[in-house]
Structure 1
Amino acid sequence: MKKIVKKVLSLALFSLTFAVASAEEFKGQIMFNGSSSLAPVISKISTDFIEGYVTWDKVNSEFPKKNIAIYVSAGGSGAGVKSVIEGVSDFGMVARLVKDSEKEKIADYKEFVVASDALTISVNKENPILKYQKDISSETLKKIFSGEYKYWSDVDSRLEKKEIVVVTRDFGGGAHEVFQKAVMGKTDVKADAIQAPSMGALATKIVENKYAIGYASFGMYNQNKDKIEAFSVDGAEPTVDNILSNAYKIQRPLLFIKSGELTPQEKAFVDYIFSEKGMEAVSKSGYIPVK
């Protein structure tokens, strides 16, 4: 009888020790780093997730009772890729296609596309050009953004000789890379263009200056429709249908990447991102959800 009791106690002690060890090994924190376009969306979804569950055991009864902590840091698409390559974050947020050369540096590469986005060629609603045209050609855009056209009168002779204020994202970011490839080709954007640190800052510059022009994201444009106007480009409007059909060519995916398999807790949060509630947050941010 004593042997049986000892065996039961030993098994109970082993189970308790194993449970404590598992709880200690369980990582309650998840880190996202990268695209400043995707960061606010993931932040909103993570806030909803944390407020809804608080601790991991409420997400899954098999998880330990640890506080949920999801950190989202915006540093640009390049920084997002680099953070995964260097192993300093769990997920890298990217607002462009990931290059093959980047994928090669990431062991067991995983990619999760959250939304479709477009870069809208936007101006202040008070910009006089809107009286005469609401479509703009790629060739004209190339001349504006390269600095060949310096004044709005260069674009349309009926306009006053007012300087064109060109606003872009930072030249090292994902948005600029998309615009460069889709519109500029081998022609550089002029060096003295205003480089905004985020899409929100870019849209603000257009709102503040009626002679400014920039490539506001589809999401940011939708949030500021009362203050800025988007051109059609080469005859195609930046609408959901045209973006999804590729008729509107200045577009990009919003995604996050990872090295290796998802941990159970990471999978739980990723599933939440792609749930109806998560995709609703994507849609409310002005982007086009993947489903």
Structure 2
Amino acid sequence: MKGFTKRAILAACVGAAMLISAGCGFNQNAQNTQLTYNGSSTLAPVISKIATDFTEKNKTWSHADSSLPDKDITIYVSSGGSGTGIKAVIDGTADFGLVAREVKDSEKAKIKDYNEIKVGIDALTIAVNPENPLYAIKDNLTKEEIIKIFSGEYKTWNQVDPSLPNQEIIVVTRDLGGGAHEVFQQKIMGSVEVTKDAIQAPSMGALVTKVKENPYAIGYASYGMLGQNKGQIVAFKVDGVAPTDETITDGSYMIQRPLLIVGKGNMGGVADAFTKYLKSEEGRKVIHKMGFVPVN
């Protein structure tokens, strides 16, 4: 298995959740040596990378914590969206759900002894190809302009500004039932629906690819993706505020969302050992390197 240690198994499967016996969620006992995470396609690669580093460093759980069994570290990470992650915890098909939005009260009510860990903050940036004609003349969009573009009220770029070409605006979104779109709908669109002509991308990576490929496309790219695709996509300021670590942390950039790990009850055993590493300086460095803002 190229890229993996012999003692550790780390799986990242985009688009489908692994159906694995979930154990007791957060209530891990000392004999449980397997962890499963499922959910957000934004957060899954981050947890996957941190899990890889953790397993390569420690090999066995006892090396990470002497009170734990001398067993190989096994961590599964899969993605299928924030809603899928929450459902996996509810259904018991994963120990932890990866969620890139606020968890609804109705969802919390379905998870016995609900608990969550906030590992970082992401933002949705209004992103285009660097050769986009609008970006050539200005770097700021008002909330009202964004609504008109994403709702389809503006159908061509010259409707945004008469100096621009009479080219169709290609709106790219995540799937409308996903966590990213919920955040965008809440923070920007309000009661106005996104145009039915929008291309719905199955993952944030697919959304960014569509924007990179077409100078007439526009989408809401994750802040992490913006950092990972420097020079290939660029972001507008929103109401005069650029997305930066500082503006996301202080809340002045409005389109932001938490990165959460949710589960049942109090942590213990192997879950506690991995979470301590995830929240350590080493884990925080990975979160930041992948383009997100870590939290204490």
Decide which of 242, 246, 266 is 1:241's aligned counterpart: 246
Deviation of 1:255 after TM superposition, in Å, equals 0.8
Task: Give the greater-gyration-radius structure (CA).
Answer: 1
**222 and 25 in structure 1: CA distance in 2 versus 1, 3 angstrom threshold:** closer
Alignment RMSD, CA only? 1.2
For 2:3, the equivalent position in structure 1 comes to none
The one-letter code sitting in structure 2 at the alignment partner of 1:204 is T
Structure 2: distance between partners of 1:162 and 1:93: 38
For 2:99, the equivalent position in structure 1 comes to 94
The one-letter code sitting in structure 1 at the alignment partner of 2:103 is V
2:110 pairs with 1:119: no
Structure 2: distance between partners of 1:56 and 1:160: 60
The one-letter code sitting in structure 1 at the alignment partner of 2:47 is I
For 1:155, the equivalent position in structure 2 comes to 160
Deviation of 1:61 after TM superposition, in Å, equals 2.2
2:75 pairs with 1:75: no
Structure 2: distance between partners of 1:46 and 1:115: 16
- Superimposed CA distance per residue, residues 178-236 of structure 1 (whole angstroms, 9 cap, x where no aligned partner): 00001110111112211111111111111110111000011001111211110011111
- TM-score of the superposed pair, with normalisation by structure 2: 0.88
* Matched position secondary structure for 2:134: helix
Structure 2: distance between partners of 1:281 and 1:28: 24
For 1:128, the equivalent position in structure 2 comes to 133
Decide which of 226, 230, 235 is 2:231's aligned counterpart: 226
Which range moves more in the overlay, 37-46 or 79-88?
A: 79-88
Deviation of 1:36 after TM superposition, in Å, equals 0.4
* Matched position secondary structure for 2:36: strand
Deviation of 1:140 after TM superposition, in Å, equals 1.1
* Matched position secondary structure for 2:55: helix
The one-letter code sitting in structure 2 at the alignment partner of 1:39 is A
For 2:25, the equivalent position in structure 1 comes to none
2:216 pairs with 1:211: yes
For 2:295, the equivalent position in structure 1 comes to 290
Q: Spell out the pairing of 1:1-291 with structure 2 (5 A cutoff).
A: 26-291=31-296
Which range moves more in the overlay, 35-44 or 131-140?
A: 131-140
- TM-score of the superposed pair, with normalisation by structure 1: 0.90
Deviation of 1:138 after TM superposition, in Å, equals 0.9
* Matched position secondary structure for 2:89: helix
The one-letter code sitting in structure 1 at the alignment partner of 2:184 is F
Structure 2: distance between partners of 1:256 and 1:75: 14
**25 and 290 in structure 1: CA distance in 2 versus 1, 3 angstrom threshold:** closer
Structure 2: distance between partners of 1:245 and 1:62: 39
Deviation of 1:248 after TM superposition, in Å, equals 0.9
The one-letter code sitting in structure 2 at the alignment partner of 1:201 is A
The one-letter code sitting in structure 2 at the alignment partner of 1:40 is P
* Matched position secondary structure for 1:125: coil
Deviation of 1:25 after TM superposition, in Å, equals 7.3
The one-letter code sitting in structure 2 at the alignment partner of 1:236 is V
The one-letter code sitting in structure 1 at the alignment partner of 2:127 is S
Deviation of 1:73 after TM superposition, in Å, equals 0.6
Deviation of 1:136 after TM superposition, in Å, equals 0.4
Which range moves more in the overlay, 129-138 or 269-278?
A: 129-138
> What runs of 5+ residues in structure 2 fail to find an aligned partner?
1-28
